[in-house]
């Protein structure tokens, strides 16, 4: 039998009696610790980056060449229009990571330990969302770089593209709190994933992401115009091509703020009172 595989009573007694209680971590340290945890998961399972590295390319090719000819007549011209749309669609689709991890923690029991730790409770979610933002940046970089090769020419230049991605990240950070709330209500990761798909899919297709709303029937046009995803797509598109107005950006910031104000406190309420 392996001698080192046994409990060493002397060491155990020492370990139990020598330690002092440190002062609890400040919120920032707790946030970084949870971000580190999320990064470790990527380290152990690098495959999970596939959807931020490969999926964007796949979508880009599909939309540009499948619909490009039919919808806009020219793929190159369509690419200028569609890239911001596909970018928004791809990135909003990976916003449920933190929610899914939270749901898994609840199923597995790690959630209970988190709740008895002397930490600022939202730090676990915010830490994970920081790493999600990293995913958004990777996905955006991959997609924009690839599009540049295919002939994408943003008139807003590198600053415009940078601002567009930043705005996208802010919106997605806020959107994530919906999934966090649902993660505390739903019984399994699968249901959570299905539900978020069922929300994101129609919202992105019934938006200005792929087609100009003025070509749509009236009743649809009305919905598409107030759809927050349309607001986001318009602002991202505007920033990339250097034609965004301050109002475009403001609308997105406002919808982000509304999402946070409703869903962050709701999430934390459910978090504290979870049975």
The residues binding another protein (CB under 8 A) are 2, 4-9, 11-17, 19, 21-25, 29-30, 33, 36-37, 40-41, 44-45, 105, 108-113, 115-119, 273, 275
| 3 state SS of 98 | helix
Q: Which is nearer to another protein, 113 or 218 (CB)?
A: 113
Nearest distance, CB of residue 274 and another protein, angstroms: 8
Chain CA centroid to CA 231, Å = 17
Cα–Cα nearest to 150, from 237, 60, 236: 60
Q: Using CA atoms, how far apart are residues 39 and 16, in angstroms rounded to an integer?
A: 30
Residues 6+ apart with CB under 8 A from 233: 84, 85, 88, 207, 208, 209
CB of residue 19 vs another protein: minimum separation in angstroms? 6
Q: Which residues contact 101 (CB under 8 A, 6 or more apart)?
A: 38, 41, 128
Report the candidate in 172, 146, 143 with the shortest Cα–Cα distance to residue 233.
Answer: 172
Q: Which is nearer to another protein, 1 or 158 (CB)?
A: 1
For another protein, the closer CB: 18 or 214: 18
Q: What is the widest separation between alpha-carbon atoms in the chain?
A: 78
Closer residue to another protein (CB): 9 or 214: 9
Q: Which residues contact 210 (CB under 8 A, 6 or more apart)?
A: 63, 67, 71, 82, 85
Q: Which is nearer to another protein, 39 or 253 (CB)?
A: 39
Least distance (Å) from another protein to the CB of residue 176? 20
Q: Which is nearer to another protein, 29 or 245 (CB)?
A: 29
Compute the least distance from the CB of residue 88 to another protein, in Å. 30
Taking the complex as a whole, how short is the minimal distance between the CB of residue 11 and another protein, in angstroms? 4
Q: In whole angstroms, how close is the CB of 209 to another protein at the nearest point? A: 34
Measured CA to CA, the distance from residue 29 to residue 217 in angstroms comes to: 52
Shortest distance in whole angstroms from residue 192 CB to another protein: 18
Residue 64 contacts residue 74 (beta carbons within 8 Å): no
Structure tokens at 206: 């019934």
How many CB atoms are closer than 10 A to CB 45?
9
Given the complex with another protein, which of 109 and 246 has the nearer CB atom?
109
């Amino acid at each position: 039998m392996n001698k080192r595989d046994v409990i060493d009573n002397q060491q155990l007694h020492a370990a139990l009696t020598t330690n002092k209680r440190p002062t609890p971590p400040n919120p920032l340290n707790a946030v970084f610790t949870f971000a580190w945890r999320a990064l470790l998961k990527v380290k152990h399972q690098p495959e999970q980056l596939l959807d931020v590295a490969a999926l964007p390319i796949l979508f880009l090719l599909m939309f540009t060449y499948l619909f490009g000819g039919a919808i806009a007549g020219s793929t190159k011209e369509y690419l200028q229009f569609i890239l911001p749309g596909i970018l928004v669609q791809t990135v909003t689709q990976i916003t449920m990571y933190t929610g899914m991890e939270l749901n898994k923690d609840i199923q597995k029991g790690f959630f209970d330990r988190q709740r008895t730790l002397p930490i600022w409770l939202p730090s676990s979610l915010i830490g994970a969302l920081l790493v999600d933002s990293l995913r958004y940046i990777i996905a955006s970089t991959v997609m924009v770089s690839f599009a540049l090769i295919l002939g994408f020419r943003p008139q807003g230049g590198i600053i415009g593209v940078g601002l567009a991605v930043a705005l996208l990240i802010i919106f997605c950070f806020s959107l994530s709190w919906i999934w966090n709330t649902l993660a505390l209500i739903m019984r399994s990761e699968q249901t959570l994933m299905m539900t978020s798909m069922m929300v994101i899919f129609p919202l992105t297709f019934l938006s200005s992401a792929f087609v100009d709303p003025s070509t749509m029937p009236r009743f649809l046009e009305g919905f598409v115009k107030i759809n927050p995803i349309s607001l986001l797509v318009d602002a991202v598109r505007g920033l990339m091509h250097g034609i965004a107005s301050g109002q475009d950006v403001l609308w997105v910031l406002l919808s982000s703020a509304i999402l946070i104000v409703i869903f962050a406190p709701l999430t934390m309420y459910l978090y504290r009172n979870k049975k």
